Amino acid sequence: MTPMPSPKNPLSEAWTGPHGGVPPFDRIAVRDIQPGLDAAMAETLANVEAIASSLAPPTFENTIEALESSSRTLDRALAIYSVWSSTLRTAEFQAVEVEMEPKLAAFSDRITQNTALFRRIEAVYTSPAKATLVPEQQRLAWLTWENFARAGAKLDDAGKARVAAINVELATLYTRFSQNLLADEEHYVLYLTTEADLAGLPAPLRHGLAAAADRLGHKGEWAVQNSRSSMEPFLTYSDRRDLRERVWRTYYGRGDNGDARDNKALITQMLALRAERARLLGYATHAHWRLETSMARTPEQAMRLMMDVWPAAVGRVREEVAAMQALADKEGGAVRIAPWDYRYYAEKVRTARYDLDMNDVKAYLQLDKLREAMFWVARQLYGLSFTRVDDAPVYHADVTVYAVASKDGSHVGLWYFDPYARDGKTSGAWMSAYRPQEKLAGTISAIVSNNLNFVKAAPGAAVLVSWDDAVTMFHEFGHALHALCSNVTYPSLSGTSVARDYVEFPSQLHENWLATPEVLGRFLVDEDGRPIPSELVEKIQRARAFNQGFAVTEYLSAAILDMKLHLAPAPPTDLAAFERDELARLDMPSEVVMRHRTPQFGHVFSGDGYSAGYYSYLWAEVLDHDAFEAFKEAGGPFDTAVAERLLRAVMSAGNTVDPADAYRAFRGRGPEVSAYLRARGFEASAPV
């Protein structure tokens, strides 16, 4: 009998269908992922070997450009893999992830440590003929050479082997860390069972907690899940101090419970391996290795900026705590402000000082209307329009898809929106690029997604979000716009493929448009369609610098600890003691905790991405406030000339130019920190 041919793996297929081709999410099962990745890696290695072993003299076209096209099947497969690893992390998939992460790390090193390939790359990079290339090609030649050299391409065989072994071990540790964190977020749930447990909680929040409990099999109860989207509103409004403390301790104890999912020992191993790898590659520390190609250039420069801001932030916290303590004393009950009290009493102080209850504002922050607001801003600034489509497959029923068109009606890309929390989905908010814009293989449009973790409302009710969550929506949409506006030739230089401390600049810049009168007046409406009252808008504007001591200190303490961990001469053996002692040296206010405590610091320990780089948000925020002042100076947040300059110099340029040069092309000068300090309500200081 002739055997039946094996069905083609959907991970290996080119994306076909409407809108320039779409991911075949409707045809993918977890069982496809491992064989699909294995086949795609094998194909890529064959393509790379063909480039490396070519007898033709190395040129930009037959080496650098050829590398750009060598992994197209793998790029598609990895896009699908990343969707499952962030949004559909079932037990079945986690087993695949444990197997594939070390394989992927080893695969990457097989390419960057290919001696013959690096010789060809270096020949192109150092050739006099490079001067005849257009600037984008010169940039790509430099970036390719730099990436290989920094990954260990110039090491001897023993050094290469050790770096490769370290990368495989780190990949395994990163997977264990992130799976431990996800398990703690899913397994620790506080169920409220009586009306007394709900004291102080507004009705929409109660409905959301009830819906969560129903989904978790606790109908008739209310579930406070171990995620930021559940924790923050509960700590803000619950009158039950005992329950606030329980929720706070559970959330900030993730990865730190002394059980099988405790992350501290994993982190110590990661730090040791990162330090060893950095030394092998010729760098003093992991931080020096990571920051070499950033805007900051050195960890010392990044630390200087953070420590310049730190005293003002801590000083403001002292003032905020004093105001909260005075209010608590007036209420009686001998409450001494603790970390689980901060949000609760801050909201009371805000109400008293500005006659502003953010729960009143929340009534006008409907998820669907905020999405419309983001679309409107994109149209005003960049001429983009978003139209919902139903002919693109999705990986979950919660996901909706929008086709994006330019001002002249031509297709720009697709935007996938996945707003709700569910089991197996990573907490927090993020943007993903399924396919970068490019022109190398023809006109290829971008495919991106925004992912959030809101709790669904009761049937028929609007999903209401907090002001902070609305800001987050605009932030992540800024990342998506950065990818959608890209107009480059090479995929490696496309969209958000820029320095880590620059990639957050466009996203943080776009946060500013939420609070503009144009957006507030058009899109903040209640469920009956009534617009937010003008007096409430005025209160929001007056209170914009409120509680900034807390906001900056909780973030900045985490960023400073990240840097200190990666600058330490030796990895700490007692991680808890290191965190405690370093925070004490900083004179960290006891009423505030790091936004991400070390055992749960996914930005830093679920991969290399933000390691020694969490400072990037502060660096980018300096850029963003300085950049937004360009609009103010021109007369308004939607000034067409400034928006066109932003599109040309920043949003469409990708990594085709040095980010410092790109910023100067937009602003006409380097960034100044004074705008950031004014926006935060701190004192002005000197330029960055």
Check pLDDT > 90 for residue 569: no
Specify if 192 maps to a domain: yes
Query: How many helices (H) and strands (E) would you count in the chain?
Result: 27, 7
Co-location of 130 and 220 in the same domain? no
Q: Span 636-664, mean pLDDT?
A: 97
pLDDT digits (tens, 9 = 90+) for 295-337: 999 999 999 999 999 999 999 999 999 999 999 999 987 899 9
Helices (H), 512-574: 517-523, 534-542, 548-567
Look-up: residue for tokens 């000339």?
A: 641
In a domain, 163, yes or no: no
Q: Is residue 100 included in any domain, yes or no?
A: yes
The pLDDT confidence band at residue 204, using thresholds 50, 70 and 90, is: confident
Tell me if residue 609 falls in helix, strand or coil.
Answer: coil
Residues 122 and 71 in one domain: yes
- Phi and psi at 242, nearest 5°, equal -65, -40
CA nearest neighbour of 444 among 391, 487, 506, 479: 487
DSSP 571: -
DSSP 15: P
Are 147 and 29 in a shared domain?
yes
Segments forming the whole domain that contains residue 100: 25-112+114-154
Taking only Cα atoms into account, the Rg of the chain, rounded to an integer number of angstroms, comes to: 25
Looking at residue 686, its pLDDT comes to 36
Whether 54 and 148 share a structural domain: yes
End residue of a domain, out of 209, 230, 252: 252
- State mean pLDDT over 106-119: 97
pLDDT digits (tens, 9 = 90+) for 28-58: 999 999 999 999 999 999 999 999 999 999 9
Q: Let me know whether 245 and 131 are in one domain.
A: no
Could you tell me if 676 and 621 are in contact, meaning their C-beta atoms sit under 8 angstroms apart? Answer: yes
Q: For the residues of 286-321, what is the DSSP string, one character each?
A: HHHHHHTTSSS-SHHHHHHHHHHHHHHHHHHHHHHH
Structure tokens at 342: 């901060």
The answer to whether residues 31 and 127 belong to one domain is yes
Claim to verify: residue 40 and residue 139 sit in the same structural domain: yes
pLDDT of residue 683: 65
Residue 93 covered by a domain: yes
- 3-state SS of 566-629 is HHCCCCCCCHHHHHHHHHHHCCCCCCCCCCCCHHHCHHHHCCCCCCCCCCHHHHHHHHHHHHHH
The residue count of the chain comes to 688
pLDDT band at 614, cuts 50/70/90? very high
Instruction: Tell me: do 144 and 192 sit in the same domain.
Output: no
Contacts of 641 (CB under 8 A, 6+ apart): 634
**Domain annotation covers residue 259:** no
Question: Count of CB atoms within 10 A of residue 44's CB?
Answer: 21
* Among 58, 85, 248, 33, residue whose Cα is nearest residue 144: 58
Question: Pick from 200, 234, 252: which residue ends a domain?
Answer: 252
Cross-strand bridge partners of residue 191: 223
Residue 42: CATH number of its domain: 1.20.1050.40
Return the pLDDT at 5. Answer: 38
Q: What angle do CA 508, 511, 512 make, to 5 degrees?
A: 110
Q: Are the CB atoms for 79 and 24 separated by under 8 Å?
A: no
| Whether 137 and 231 share a structural domain | no
3-state SS assignment for residue 385: strand
206, 125: one domain: no
149 and 200 assigned to the same domain: no
Residue identified by tokens 């946060």 is 511
* Structural domain includes residue 411: no
Q: Is 476 one of the annotated active-site residues of the chain?
A: yes
Rounded CA separation 114/646 (Å):
39
- Residue 17 contacts residue 391 (beta carbons within 8 Å): yes
If one counts the domains in the chain, the total is 2
Q: Are 54 and 134 in a shared domain?
A: yes
Which of 122, 476, 504, 579 is catalytic? The answer is 476
Q: Is residue 133 part of a domain?
A: yes
The per-residue pLDDT of the chain, averaged, comes to: 95
**Residue 253: closest CA among 573, 564, 576:** 576
Last residue in a domain, options 130, 154, 178: 154
Distance CA 546, CA 544 (A): 6
